[in-house]
Amino acid sequence: MSSENALANQLPTGLGGQLVKAERWLILTGAGVSADSGVPTFRDAQTGLWARYDAYSLATPAAFAENPALVWDWYQWRRRLIAAAKPNAGHQSIAELAALKPGLTLVTQNVDGLHQRAGSPEVIEFHGNIGRSKCFDCGTVATSIDEPDRRPPVCSICDGLLRPDVVWFGESISLPAIEAAYAAAERSEIFLAVGTSSLVYPAAGLAEVAADAGALIVELNLDQTPMSALADHVLVGPAALWLPTIAACVREAVS
Ligand code: OAD
């Protein structure tokens, strides 16, 4: 019996039917959905060369201003790590669910672009995308990088330094992304949080808005989080195992 079928029988009673019936889903993902692709979660200890740096001390505008080459190198290390990673069954299942449920909205806190590589058509990226670079001074997103070996390269518009197009600590998330995510939460019937510690707002606030809108709240995680108490169902285990089960349950109902 495949792992999907085995787990399909383990979905909490009634959840399968509610998933099949609901059209408007909001899925919020965090680093845990990419952990099964070998991408360290944000609160994992940094490994290897970067073990001595704390991610929180690198992912800030001040850190970049103080030592742009160090911060650029750290992101280049993460970019190489992510380029070597592949979307896992969890990412692929979310992409399949988007095809099965046209009313599905996907919000991710991840910057790795693995949802897009798995085929998810629309991804609201709360924290940007490590694959893009933008100018630290004028904010222009770089479409090409003239001197890729410079650390960091410079902006082709204003000669400012390029930085990763991700949200750093102390920076705000794009308003359109927040508005789209909260609008989806207000009309959601299913809210599924996958692999997030639910510690960082405004992403962590979406569950409460969905719950107030009467959505069924489902948390998929290895551990308890501050959101667990709000959840109607908590699926404990790896995202790469549970998400194919959820996709199989919906697929079987529509086929
Ligand atoms: P965290 O590293 O805070 O949390 C990862 C969550 O995924 C934890 O709750 C783990 O238990 C869970 N997890 C780990 N492996 C899993 C697996 N295989 N299957 C399911 N769950 C798993 O990452 P985020 O919650 O994404 O913000 O962190 C949110 C934000 O905090 C990040 O986007 C970052 C950080 O500040 C910015 O960079 C602006």
Residues 113 and 237 in one domain: yes
Which residue lies with its CA nearest to atom 18 of ligand 1?
238
Query: What does the pLDDT read at residue 96?
Result: 98
Token pair 């809210």 is found at 191
CA of 157 to the centre of ligand 1 (A): 35
How far apart CA 231 and CA 191 sit, in angstroms, is 9
- Residue 2 has a pLDDT of 56
Residues 231 and 244 reside in one and the same domain: yes
Q: Phi first, then psi: what are they for 125, rounded to 5°? A: -95, 100
CA distance 131 to 174: 17
Is the same domain home to 108 and 219? yes
- Whether 245 lines ligand 1, by a CB cut-off of 6 Å, is no
| pLDDT given at position 10 | 75
145 with 187, same domain: the answer is: no
In terms of domains, do 148 and 247 share one?
Answer: no
DSSP, collapsed to helix, strand or coil, labels residue 73 as helix
Q: State pLDDT tens for residues 33-50.
A: 999 999 988 776 666 666
Range of the domain at 123: 1-39+86-127+172-255
Query: CA geometry: angle at 92 spanning 253 and 165, to 5°?
Result: 135
Are residues 236 and 153 both part of a single domain?
no
CA 216 to chain centroid: 20
- CATH number for the domain harbouring residue 254: 3.40.50.1220
User: 246 and 219: one domain?
Assistant: yes
Q: Are residues 53 and 150 in the same domain?
A: yes
Residue 217 and residue 93 share a domain: yes
Q: How many CB atoms lie within 10 A of CB 236?
A: 12
Beta bridge partners, 236, equal: 221
pLDDT beneath 70, residues of the chain: 1-9, 44-50
Residue 1: its pLDDT value, please?
A: 45
Output the six-digit token pair for 36. Answer: 């099964």
Catalytic status, residue 127: yes
Q: How many domains does the chain have?
A: 2
93 and 204 assigned to the same domain: yes
CA R_g for the chain: 19
Count of beta carbons in the 10 Å neighbourhood of residue 143: 8
Taking the C-alpha atoms of residue 143 and residue 37, their distance in angstroms, rounded to an integer, is: 27
**Cβ-proximal residues to 105 (8 Å cutoff; 6+ apart), any chain:** 24, 25, 26, 27, 122, 124, 180, 181, 184, 188
- What CATH code is carried by the domain that includes residue 160? 3.30.1600.10
How far does residue 1's CA lie from ligand 1's centre (Å)?
30
